[in-house]
Structure 1
Amino acid sequence: MNKVTQRALLAATASVMAAAIGSSANAAAFYLQEQSIRGAGRAFSGETADQGAASLWWNPAAIGGMTGGEAVLGVSQIMPRGNVDNVGTLIRRPGQQPAPVGGDQRSNNPIDNGTLPSGAVAYALTPQLSVGLAVTSPFSFTTNYDATSWARYTADKTKLRTIDLQPSVAFALTPNFVIGGAVNVEHSKATLSNYLPNLSPLLADGHQTLEGSGWDVGYTLGAQYRGGPVSLGVSYKSSIKHKLDGSVTIEGLLGPLAAQNRSIDAMADFRTPWQLTAGLRFKATDKLTLNGQIVRFGWGKFDAITLGAPLNTAIPEGYRNTWSYAGGVDYAVTPAWTLRAGVQYDETPTENLERDARVPDSNRWNFSTGTSFALSKSFTIDGAVSYIKFKDVAINRTTAAYAGTAVQTPILVNGRLDNAHALVLAIGGRFSF
């Protein structure tokens, strides 16, 4: 294999690795916060200040000072919709003038529906000391573009699944002040692919696929103050350094590129964002509780993807730190029946000129309502409905196949995300023992 072909192979591998890791980290741009059905009903506006196992993901101090035990289990059905349209994407093959990329000019609903389970259990060992475990999937989604889509060179199939195990401990220093800590053990598994252009537009496209997985560890720290009608909470969830081990398979390349068809081992390191969350719950009357929450996401940690041997390079990313704001209410209609509602505004970490079709994210509004009903002293059922509206934005991150080689083929992406929204239906239960 000559040096140009070898460099082209490594460049193609780097391209799919970048897409893969970008997708898994961008999943936090599609960060799945549906880890509590109770919280979903008020647009996640008071979770870090609330108590019980249902708030364990947000704040390990939530289980401090409890009596007995509590288990929660929920499932959310996430149904996203939207169009990813081509505006004028061009491809520039070596020695040729820029030409339209071709293919279907609109991709309808490329993000698949998803079913997201979550659960937690907590138990008080003493009046001051409690332990718990939350099992969540905070970064999981699937996108599917047709082989004939205009976006095929930057996105084809994306499937990411994460499982986060969060063993937690909380201690009530005083009746009003609780601290907590947790370890986040996270497993990620990804399958990602996209098409590769052959040097002649008359030839069928090639294809590359990445498959990989890994276990990684982070931590969460939290505290709560509970005084009369006011509950305050703050928590910090660390960035996690992920290591994805797997393989890249390249096939279907023809002519001078045919020597690149092969499967090689590949590895990449990247960081997910930290989260700093502060929340407030205020019992305004015997029946009405007001909630507020603000989150700072440290997406700046996702500044580069470091690729190991045989690539030994780094790919810069353009993510920014973001904010999320939420407000909501709980209203106790009766001692057994509670209604909820809330609104949340969430910023995207993606920047203009850096947004691609694999994760076509944008700023969003979340409008939610929910309810709880105690069927008995020990069992409560929760339900919630959320409508999420995404802002229309440009998809315009220029990329290149075989970057840095004599056959470099730029893809001048010019697309748009239009009419994107999602409906989330959630149901679950809480059991005390």
Structure 2
Amino acid sequence: MFRSTAIVRRAGSIALPLVATLAAAEAQAGGFGLREQSSYYQGTSFAGAAAGGEGLASMFWNPAAISFSPGLNVESNFTYIMPHASVDVYDARAPLTGASLGTTGVGDIIDDALLPTTFVTYAWDKLAIGLGLTVPFGLISDAPCNWSGRYYGCYSRIFDLNIQGSVAYKVNEWLTLGGGVSVNYIDARLSNATFTGIVPPANNLYAQVDGDDLGVGFNLGVLLTPWAGTTIGVGYKSSIDHDLQGQLGLYFGQTQLAQYVANAGLTLPGQVTASFRSRVAPQWTLLGTVEWTDWSTLDQLVVRTPAGVASILDLQWKDGWFFSGGVEYQWDPKLALRAGLAYELTPVPDETRSPRLPDTNRLWLSAGFTYAVTQQLSMDFAYSHIFGENSPIDQYPSAAGNTYRGVLVGEVSNGYVDIVSLGVRYKFGELNPQPALITK
């Protein structure tokens, strides 16, 4: 029986390396990052995101770009992300035995998600403060635990929540400086089938790991206004170190056979975003963004237990790059139209791509608009379609940490994302009050 102490100990020792990854599903900012923090900037594929504008969310990329709109301002965004990616399997073989696992792939390995964000600013003459509640990392990959790549992952989830406090100061008419602190909470759950040496491999044992942690980072920024109608913004977000603490469990059906204390270090990447925003005509504004993300900090992921190092996962990620350009047209005083195009280079090399994170290069097409309901209330709407490239999966037992995962050769295909976003912005207080009526 599987309750045998010897078998439980052996299966547990095998399970540890199989769950030694804390990356979750394909996201929309390379790696497992999420870019969709703003409906306003999504309409231009995030071109101009760090250069200010009406959208309060610019502070997410550049704290110096806090809105200096007088008084209290609030913005909430609700973004529904509908990703799709298939994993086609060409060859899958069991660990150690080499027994064939068939070629059963996954038709859609990525789950939909709703991403809410909120930003609040308060400004005086030269000073502004801001608070942002964002979700900079996450999403979910979900595969049934009887597919051919089950030893490389079944269910992976990252939940991330970030609170960012920022302050900006206008040094003069052309220079604004900003900075702030971010408090980041991350929670991860991962599962996969566990190899027990049975031929053909059984699917009724699986391992699941849960862990969470709280980390702190900082952000800096500068906003330049070289001439009226043009702004140039550069923002820096520091990396955030996490030491995820949690439990590793081994299960037979719903019955837990063993449990271990486990932890893994994870560094969320630093990022530099540079943007410009230039009004080239009374109704036309051009925008652009270049962004670098330091994903190369994810070289190896080491999982530890009280007994020592349990697993080393070889990621070898590269730095990520994002390029976007966009245009905004002020149709009339109430309606602004915008559109944008972007291209993003994945940090995930072909040599280490995993079904837990089937990330690929991608092309963005976006459109959106803002409608000013009143002087105080504005509504933002945006839609994006992302085209993902087909990319290989080549995992072999010879790679670090793959001894008990076997062979998985396949391809990520039919990757695309549809994104719909709605934002609401409100300025408290009376704007442009009418002069008092004087009677004699």
Confirm or deny: 8 A CA contact 1:145 1:151 kept in the other structure.
Answer: no
Confirm or deny: 8 A CA contact 1:64 1:171 kept in the other structure.
Answer: no
- What is the alpha-carbon distance in structure 1 between the residues aligned to residue 10 and residue 293 of structure 2? 36
Quick one: percent identity of the two aligned structures?
29
- What is the alpha-carbon distance in structure 2 between the residues aligned to residue 120 and residue 424 of structure 1? 20
How far off its partner does 1:302 sit?
Answer: 1.2
- What is the alpha-carbon distance in structure 2 between the residues aligned to residue 81 and residue 416 of structure 1? 14
1:15 aligned onto 2:10: no
How far off its partner does 1:8 sit?
Answer: 6.8
Corresponding residue to 1:363 among 361, 364, 386: 361
Alignment-derived partner of residue 282 in structure 1: 278
Alignment-derived partner of residue 152 in structure 2: 154
Q: C-alpha offsets along residues 51-83 of structure 1, whole Å, 9 cap, x if unaligned? A: 452211111111164422211001011111231
Alignment-derived partner of residue 64 in structure 2: 61
- What is the alpha-carbon distance in structure 1 between the residues aligned to residue 198 and residue 139 of structure 2? 34
Matched to 1:268, the amino acid is A
Corresponding residue to 1:170 among 161, 168, 171: 168
Alignment-derived partner of residue 344 in structure 1: 342
Confirm or deny: 8 A CA contact 1:11 1:403 kept in the other structure.
Answer: no
Alignment-derived partner of residue 256 in structure 1: none
State how many pairs are aligned: 418
How far off its partner does 1:10 sit?
Answer: 4.2
Task: Name structure 2 gaps, 5 residues minimum.
Answer: 429-440
Dislocated runs of 4+, deviation >4 Å: 1-8, 24-28, 399-404
1:37 aligned onto 2:36: no
Matched to 2:217, the amino acid is G
Confirm or deny: 8 A CA contact 2:52 2:67 kept in the other structure.
Answer: no
- What is the alpha-carbon distance in structure 2 between the residues aligned to residue 193 and residue 288 of structure 1? 50
- What is the alpha-carbon distance in structure 1 between the residues aligned to residue 322 and residue 278 of structure 2? 20
Q: Which segment drifts farther, 56-65 or 110-119? A: 56-65
How far off its partner does 1:201 sit?
Answer: 2.0
1:308 aligned onto 2:308: no
Alignment-derived partner of residue 209 in structure 2: 210
Q: What is the TM-score with the length of structure 2 in the denominator?
A: 0.89
- What is the alpha-carbon distance in structure 1 between the residues aligned to residue 14 and residue 325 of structure 2? 46
1:269 aligned onto 2:265: yes
How far off its partner does 1:204 sit?
Answer: 2.4
Q: C-alpha offsets along residues 258-277 of structure 1, whole Å, 9 cap, x if unaligned? A: xx941011111121211111
Corresponding residue to 2:73 among 66, 70, 75: 70
Alignment-derived partner of residue 257 in structure 1: none
Corresponding residue to 1:415 among 410, 422, 427: 410
- What is the alpha-carbon distance in structure 2 between the residues aligned to residue 393 and residue 24 of structure 1? 15
Q: Which segment drifts farther, 57-66 or 241-250? A: 57-66
Confirm or deny: 8 A CA contact 1:9 1:402 kept in the other structure.
Answer: no
- What is the alpha-carbon distance in structure 1 between the residues aligned to residue 106 and residue 7 of structure 2? 35
How far off its partner does 1:288 sit?
Answer: 0.4
Q: 1:285 to 1:311 in 2, by over 3 A?
A: farther
Q: C-alpha offsets along residues 365-399 of structure 1, whole Å, 9 cap, x if unaligned? A: 01000000000000000000000010001112335
C-alpha RMSD of matched pairs (Å): 2.6
Q: Residues 107-146 of structure 1 correspond to what in structure 2 (within 5 A)? A: 107-124=106-123, 126-146=124-144
Matched to 1:322, the amino acid is G
Matched to 1:143, the amino acid is S
- What is the alpha-carbon distance in structure 1 between the residues aligned to residue 257 and residue 180 of structure 2? 45
Q: 1:209 to 1:399 in 2, by over 3 A?
A: farther
Q: What is the TM-score with the length of structure 1 in the denominator?
A: 0.90
Confirm or deny: 8 A CA contact 2:24 2:138 kept in the other structure.
Answer: no
SS at structure 1 position matched to 2:350: coil
How far off its partner does 1:410 sit?
Answer: 4.7
How far off its partner does 1:310 sit?
Answer: 2.2
Confirm or deny: 8 A CA contact 1:32 1:137 kept in the other structure.
Answer: yes
- What is the alpha-carbon distance in structure 1 between the residues aligned to residue 143 and residue 162 of structure 2? 28
Q: C-alpha offsets along residues 332-391 of structure 1, whole Å, 9 cap, x if unaligned? A: 000110000001101111101200111111000010000000000000000000000100
- What is the alpha-carbon distance in structure 2 between the residues aligned to residue 309 and residue 422 of structure 1? 38
- What is the alpha-carbon distance in structure 2 between the residues aligned to residue 155 and residue 309 of structure 1? 21
Matched to 1:326, the amino acid is S
Alignment-derived partner of residue 234 in structure 1: 234
Q: Which segment drifts farther, 299-308 or 135-144? A: 299-308
SS at structure 2 position matched to 1:61: helix
Q: 1:222 to 1:22 in 2, by over 3 A?
A: same
Matched to 2:333, the amino acid is P
SS at structure 2 position matched to 1:413: strand
Confirm or deny: 8 A CA contact 1:387 1:424 kept in the other structure.
Answer: yes
- What is the alpha-carbon distance in structure 1 between the residues aligned to residue 69 and residue 356 of structure 2? 44
